[in-house]
Amino acid sequence: MTSNKTVFFIIGILLVILGIFMMIPYGIQLIYNEDSNSFLASSIITIFIGILTVLSNLKKEKQLNLQQAFLFSTLAWFAIALFGSVPFMLSNLNRYISIPKTKVIIIYFLGSTNLSKKTNNNNIDNAGTAVNKNKNI
């Protein structure tokens, strides 16, 4: 049985990096005098859990085999999307979502799509017309 400490060690490093990059939107919040501290709180949470993950999985061997690479890929996407959605959970966005059971699912979806978005924001405005055009196909 192989140990997956290396996988969780690298995921912890990714969480620390994500937490550091979450400080950039907090700086922009300070510039525009916004009242929300959701990015600061989520950055602290993400860095703290990332450091705990790194420290609890210290190991001298730092090589991944094929199974560990697949596990890393899956868990990294899940963890980054989960912690990327923490600012949405802590912000005032919750008041716009009316169904309580689906709040976590919607917020997780927002976090995952914002981290993997390739398009610009102009495509969001035209999304409804694109869907209507594709119905005829």
Packing angle, helices 5-21 and 23-31, rounded to 10 = 10
- With cut-offs at 50, 70 and 90, classify the pLDDT of residue 101: low
- Position with higher pLDDT, 78 vs 119: 78
Query: What is the rounded end-to-end Cα distance, in angstroms, of the chain?
Result: 51
Q: Calculate the alpha carbon distances from 129 to 114, 121, 132 in Å.
A: 21, 15, 5
Which distant-in-sequence residues (6+ apart) come within 8 Å of 47 by Cβ?
15, 16, 19, 20
Does position 135 have pLDDT exceeding 80, yes or no?
A: no
- With cut-offs at 50, 70 and 90, classify the pLDDT of residue 46: very high
- The pLDDT of residue 90: 82
Nearest to 50, CA basis, from 78, 21, 9: 9
- The pLDDT of residue 129: 46
Mean pLDDT of 67-89: 89
What pTM was estimated for this model as a whole?
0.74
